[in-house]
Amino acid sequence: MNNTIIVGAGLVGSLLSVYLARAGFKVSVYERFGDPLQGESRSGRSVNITLSTRGFQALDAVGLGDTVRQFCVPAYGRVIHSQDGRTTYQPYGNHQEALYSIRRDDLSKILLDFARSQESIEFYFNHKCLDLDLPTGTLTLQDVVTDRIERIQAEKIFAADGAYSAVRQKMQRLKGFNYSQEYFDQGYKEIVIPPDSQGNWPLDRNALHIWPRDRFMLIGFPNLDKSFTLSLHLPYQGEISHESIDSPQAIENLFKTYFPDIWESVRSNLANYFASPVETMVTIKCFPWSYQDKVALIGDACHAILPSYGQGANAGFEDCQLLARCIQQHLDNWQDAFKAYETARKPDMDAIAHLCVEHFTVLHDAVGNAEFQERNKLERQLQILYPDYAPIYYNIAFTDMSYRKAWEIERSYRNIIDEMLENRFNSATSIALESRQFCTIA
């Protein structure tokens, strides 16, 4: 098949092109922005991505994992910074499990570089998809440099054009197409802090850093060049909000009051702070994810989620693996392939979308309190005692278990763990675990 088109050369579109090329297809990828390998910058998206097990699994399957790992900084846990400057360390697992922090640009360049080394993949940058005639599979594309418009008929179209997908917008007009979009009530701005005066990381590099402050928070991600990216999450309006933090004095007051331990590193790196827009976060759900045997949506185009679990790109990479598998299994019937892909994946993505909303509250607030820390410790202890059990964070980040299953496990153990915490497990506590065995924790 010679006319397979991917719209969008973001993280997911680039990886999908590799999967499709390996399955024997000739692929053309159309991207509205310029070529990042020519130094043409992209839109203002989050600077960092943390990759976890399921993302790496999809990268490893096409031989990209080790290249990507070289550009990552592993974070083995989170450091919680309280307002009085004390810090607490919470490891992610019992065996040095890590999230891998990488700059989005680095990840994108690695994927593009690799995809372009494949003979059967062609990239067309500065080509924006304006429209799609679904019945004929005809895309209208605009060369944004020359303004030239061209129409291309494709046999198969994969829409990896992100949360505001132009292809999905066309599908939204179809009868029976369901769609929802919900903005989170907070936005974020990023501040990059350079290495310290000795040329070292300004914070412990092998951890993510969180300053939870109830209705708002600051998160720090390590970069390979020894800088840190801080992401300041605030409500849009209100007493402490993006609206109220509108001057150098206001941001200084905010940091000195709530994040005093990091102010000295931040103060000289606020030059772009007020010029940069507040970035939004959105949950997008839709269904179906395909049109006949012609079009399939993938990545954020069909399931944008909040970044609290750091799963959006990981999930998009997992989509690529699943979609490629479904295509292989139904080579003679693409409609069946698309149906198998979307029905297998949709319930998982609905589950993680829900969990991400819940987890934002945990990050803002609970992560810093004693009860959460106790729960965290207990869950890790239980994991040692009962290897069949793992906390939800672990199952999401460090396994390839379906998101739905991870949520089911969490729900079935939630009451037992609540009860154990209530008893403060200071005496022998009998608990019924899923297997209905009664176990005694001394």
Binding footprint of ligand FAD on the chain (CB under 6 A): 7-13, 30-33, 46, 49-50, 128-129, 160-162, 166, 188, 281, 299-301, 307, 310-314, 316
How far is residue 364's CA from residue 359's CA, in Å, rounded to a whole number?
9
Residue 376 near residue 29 (C-beta atoms within 8 A): no
CB of 438 to ligand FAD, least distance (A): 39
According to DSSP, the β-strands at 178-183 and 156-159 are unpaired
Comparing every residue's Cβ against ligand FAD, the nearest one is: 10
Task: Considering the complex, state which of residue 265 and residue 308 has its C-beta at the smaller distance from ligand FAD.
Answer: 308
Phi-psi region of 69 (alpha: psi -120 to 50; beta: other; left: phi over 0): alpha
Task: Considering the complex, state which of residue 58 and residue 420 has its C-beta at the smaller distance from ligand FAD.
Answer: 58
CB of 318 to ligand FAD, least distance (A): 10
Task: Considering the complex, state which of residue 162 and residue 220 has its C-beta at the smaller distance from ligand FAD.
Answer: 162
How far is residue 40's CA from residue 35's CA, in Å, rounded to a whole number?
5
Task: Considering the complex, state which of residue 312 and residue 413 has its C-beta at the smaller distance from ligand FAD.
Answer: 312
Residue 355 near residue 403 (C-beta atoms within 8 A): yes
CB of 46 to ligand FAD, least distance (A): 3
CB of 376 to ligand FAD, least distance (A): 20
How far is residue 303's CA from residue 191's CA, in Å, rounded to a whole number?
27
Task: Considering the complex, state which of residue 29 and residue 203 has its C-beta at the smaller distance from ligand FAD.
Answer: 29
CB of 316 to ligand FAD, least distance (A): 5
Task: Considering the complex, state which of residue 252 and residue 279 has its C-beta at the smaller distance from ligand FAD.
Answer: 279
> Which of 38, 39, 59 is CA-nearest to residue 320?
59
Render 363-405 in DSSP notation, one character per residue: HHTGGGSHHHHHHHHHHHHHHHH-TT---HHHHHHHS---HHH
How much is the CA Rg of the chain, to the nearest whole Å?
23
CB of 49 to ligand FAD, least distance (A): 4
CB of 9 to ligand FAD, least distance (A): 5
Task: Considering the complex, state which of residue 144 and residue 270 has its C-beta at the smaller distance from ligand FAD.
Answer: 144
Render 135-162 in DSSP notation, one character per residue: TTTEEEEEETTT--EEEEE-SEEEE---
